[in-house]
């Protein structure tokens, strides 16, 4: 069995690493916050002293980090993966970063004979915990085939899209759809509530029709409870939409609806709500309409 390293044990990375341990993989792990490693080490993982140390001990290194700068630092920076890597090692970056950054990192790794896949995920903390993430992969087919079994320990959908960078292009498309879906859900549920209709009954009535979606099923129950504990923070969705807008502008694709939702999220950030779950977008609409979408007692 391949030796697996895991770097980045946050909200998503920790449960993903735990699922690899449950599947029987021997892990060596690292996070810049020592306390973040505690649960995974207690479950049987070995703690490393740096990203370089992880790479020295691994055939496959998985990174799950906030954004492009953190990935570049962990992989290409001092004491990074590249310093400890050997030819033939595979880096699977499961972070959501700019496609151009993924290609840049891959090019640097290739100089040392290290292969890379960009494999961002969708599904948030709940699906990270139960191992049913959607994993979107960019890279060489033969490299993908070597690590597909590892990825399937963390996701129920694992799809090779195309060359390096394709995974993150797909993730940007995913994040646009999710953001617009949450915004549409928010407008609709605020409208229904302000009109005096029970929002929970509205949800039950429409979820089985064309308006039904995974977003609707995941977010409306949280909204009804006033629960905005983050499975995926608004701050991170802002990061993804920033990458989406920059990429779209670079290649000449207008994305007007994405721009509007980005401004809604920026408003919530200014209000100090960017640590809330992205389902908390509804709070923007609730503020405009002076009504809260909550379960009726």
Query: Hey, which residues are catalytic here?
Result: 171
Give the CB-side neighbour count of residue 107, counting CA atoms within 13 A.
Answer: 7
- Secondary structure string (H, E, C) spanning the chain: CCCEEEECCCCCHHHHHHHHHHCCCCEEEECCCHHHHHHHHHCCCEECCCHHHHHHCCCEEEECCCCHHHHHHHHHCCCCHHHHCCCCCEEEECCCCCHHHHHHHHHHHHCCCCEEEECCEECHHHHHHHCCEEEEEECCHHHHHHHHHHHCCCEEEEEEEECCCHHHHHHHHHHHHHHHHHHHHHHHHHHHHHCCCCHHHHHHHHCCCCCCCHHHHHHHHHHHCCCCCCCCEHHHHHHHHHHHHHHHHHHCCCCHHHHHHHHHHHHHHHCCCCCCEHHHHHHHHHHHHCCCCCCCC
CA distance 90 to 136: 17
CA distance 46 to 58: 12
CA distance 164 to 180: 26
CA distance 61 to 129: 20
Positive or negative CA dihedral for 27, 28, 33, 35?
A: positive
């Amino acid at each position: 069995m391949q030796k697996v390293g895991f770097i980045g044990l946050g909200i998503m990375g920790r449960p993903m690493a735990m699922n690899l341990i449950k599947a029987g993989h021997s892990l060596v792990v690292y996070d810049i916050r020592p306390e973040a490693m505690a649960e995974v080490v207690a479950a049987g993982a070995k703690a490393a002293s740096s990203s370089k140390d992880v790479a020295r001990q691994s055939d496959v290194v998985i990174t799950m980090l906030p954004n492009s700068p953190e990935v570049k630092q962990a992989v290409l920076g001092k004491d990074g993966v590249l310093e400890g890597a050997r030819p033939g090692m595979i880096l699977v970056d499961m972070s959501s970063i700019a496609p151009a950054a993924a290609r840049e990192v891959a090019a640097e790794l290739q100089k040392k004979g290290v292969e890379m896949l960009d494999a961002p995920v969708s599904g948030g903390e709940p699906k990270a915990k139960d191992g049913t993430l959607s994993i979107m992969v960019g890279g060489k087919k033969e490299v993908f085939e070597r690590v597909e079994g590892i990825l399937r320990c963390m996701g129920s959908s694992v799809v090779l899209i195309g060359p390096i960078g394709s995974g993150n292009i797909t993730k940007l498309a995913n994040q646009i759809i999710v953001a617009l879906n949450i915004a549409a859900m928010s407008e609709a549920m605020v409208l229904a509530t302000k009109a005096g209709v029970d929002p929970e009954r509205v949800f039950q009535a429409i979820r089985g029709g064309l308006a039904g979606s995974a977003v609707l099923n995941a977010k409306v129950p949280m909204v009804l409870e006033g629960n905005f504990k983050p499975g995926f923070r608004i701050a991170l969705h802002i990061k993804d939409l920033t990458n989406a807008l920059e990429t779209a502008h670079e290649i000449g694709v207008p994305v007007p609806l994405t721009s509007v939702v980005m401004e809604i999220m920026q408003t919530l950030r200014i209000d100090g709500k960017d640590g809330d779950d992205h389902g908390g977008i509804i709070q923007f609409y609730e503020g405009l309409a002076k009504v809260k979408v909550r379960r009726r007692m």
